Amino acid sequence: MIRELLESLAAERRDREQLQNRLDALLQRVYGPRSEKRPPGPTLFDNMALTGDLLESTIIEASSEVESEAARKKHKQGHGRRKLPADLPRQRVEHDLSEAEKRCPCCQTPRVPIGEEISERLDYTPAVLKVIEHVRPKYICRKCAGAIVVTPLPPEPIAKGLAAPGLLAHVMVSKFADHLPLYRQEKIFARSGLELPRSTLCGWLADCAELLRPLYAWMIQVVLESKVIHTDDTPVRQLHPDGPVTGRVWVYWGDGAHPYTVYDATSSRKRDGPQTFLRSFQGYLQADAFGGYDGIYARGVTEVACWAHARRKFVEAESTDARRASEAIARIRMLYEIEERAREMSPAERAALREREAKPALESLQRWLDSLAVDVLPKSPFGQAINYVRNQWEALNVYVSDGDLAIDNNVAERALRGTALGRKNWLFFGSETGGHTAAILMSFIATCQRHELNPWEYLKDVLTRMPACPKNELATLLPDVWAKTKPIVAASTQHE
C-alpha cells in the first residue's frame, strides 16, 4: 500500500512538473524574450561538474569569447553624430551679417570674408504625388477628312490604369517591406489630398502580381536548380466563405549560386504544398521535422535537419532538468563555435574542419544522449528533447559531409520574420488568391533585400519595362542580373 502511494505521488509530481513546464513555455512565448542566447563560459552550468574534453573545450571557448568581446569593444565606433550621406540633396541657406556688423568696431573698416562655417540639419519633406500627363497629338487629313490618327500609349503595367509604376512600387513596398496595411496607406494618401480606397489599392497589387508572374515563375525555376534549398513555413489567417482558416506561407531559400528567396501560399499545412512546389527538385533540403516533407525525402532528396531546432528543445527543458539540459546546450554550442571559425573558409576547408572537429564532438554527444535515454522519462521535457535529437540523428549529421551545407535552418526562419511582422499589421489574407498575390510580391521584396537593393527602385523599373519585355529577355529583369546592369540605381537608397 505504501509503495503504491509513493508511486502515485511520484506520478503526480511528474505530471505537475510537466504541466508547469508547459505553462512556463507558454508564458515565455507570450510575454518573455524570444532570444535563446546563454551567457558564455562555465558560469552557464550552476554547480555542474564538467570532465575531460568538455570542460577543456568550454574553458577555451569562454576565453576566446572574452578575447573576441574585448576586440569588438576595442574596434567599436565612438559616440557622436555621424556624417550625413553625401548623396542627399542639399539646400544652401546663408546667414550673413548686416552691413553694420561687418564693420570693425575699432576702426570701422569693413571686414573681409576669410571662410565660412557650415552646420547641417536634416529635414524631411512628405512624399509628393504628381500627375504625369501623356500628351498625344491627333492628326487628320484636311483634304479627304479620313481617319484620325494618334500615337498609341506605351505599354503600361495596368492597361488604362490610373497608377504609374512609381506609385505601384510604393504601394507594394509599403505593404510588404514596411508592413503598412492598405487601410493605413489609404489614410496616408488622404493626407496628401487624394482619395484612394483600399479596394483600389488591393486591385493594383493583384494586377501587379499577375504582371510579374512570369518573372516569379522564372525565379522558382532557378531556385529549384539549387544544390541546397532551405524551407520553412508560418501560419497566416485566411478569410474563407465558410469561415476563417489557417493558411500557410512557405519560403524556399535558394543557395548562393541561385540567390533568390521565393514564397508560396497554401490554404493549409498539408504536405501537398511543398511536395507540389518541390516536385522537380533533387538535392539537399534543409527543414524542420515536419512530416509533410517525408514524401520528398522518399523520392531521393537528402534530408538535412536543423541543430537550432534541436537546441531549442533543450532550452525548453531547462526549467525541469537544468543541469543536464545546460550540458546539452553547451555541447551543441561547441558545434556552433566550430562553424564560427569555418564561416570564411571554402566549402572544402569547411568540410575538412567539420570532419576533424565536429564529427568527434557529435560522436561524443551521441554516446552521452544514449547513456541518458535509459534513465530519463520519455514524456518529460528533457526526455522529449533527447528523443527528438535521436530520431533526427542521421539528418542532423548530414551537414558534416558537405561544406556547402549549413548547421541549421536559420536563414529560412529569418526569411519569414517579415511575414510574421506583417501579419501583426495586416492580420490576414482576404482570400486564397490574395495569398498567392502576397507570395509573388513578397518574393521580389525579399530577394531585393537579400541583394541589398532598393526594392522601390527595382520594382519601378521592372514594372515600366515588363509590359514590353520579350520572353527571351525576361532573365535580364531578375534582381541580381538587373543590379549588374543598373549599378547606380541599385546602390541608391532614395525614392524620387
- The tens digit of pLDDT for each residue in 392-404 reads 999 999 999 999 9
Region of residue 300 (phi > 0: left; psi between -120 and 50: alpha; otherwise: beta): left
pLDDT at residue 75, rounded to an integer: 56
pLDDT in tens, 70-88: 555 555 555 667 888 888 8
Helices in 75-164 by DSSP H: which ranges? Answer: none
pLDDT at residue 169, rounded to an integer: 95
Out of 20-29, 356-365, 390-399, 409-418, least confident range: 20-29
The amino acid that residue 302 corresponds to is T
Mean pLDDT of the chain: 84
Mean pLDDT of 196-212: 94
Give the side-chain half-sphere CA count within 13 A for 308.
16
Mean pLDDT of 261-287: 90
pTM for the full model? 0.81
What are the sequence ranges of the domains in the chain?
150-210+455-491, 307-408
Contacts of 258 (CB under 8 A, 6+ apart): 222, 223, 225, 226
Contacts of 148 (CB under 8 A, 6+ apart): 138, 139, 140
Rg (CA), the chain: 30
**CA–CA distance, 483 with 273 (Å, rounded to integer):** 32
Cell numbers representing residue 486 in the block: 543598373
Confidence of residue 267 (pLDDT cuts 50, 70, 90): confident
Three-state DSSP class for residue 164: coil
Indicate if the pLDDT at residue 477 is higher than 70: yes
pLDDT at residue 42, rounded to an integer: 43
Beta strand extents in 121-201 (DSSP E only)? 138-139, 149-150
**CA–CA distance, 478 with 480 (Å, rounded to integer):** 6
The residue to which cell 550540458 is assigned: 327
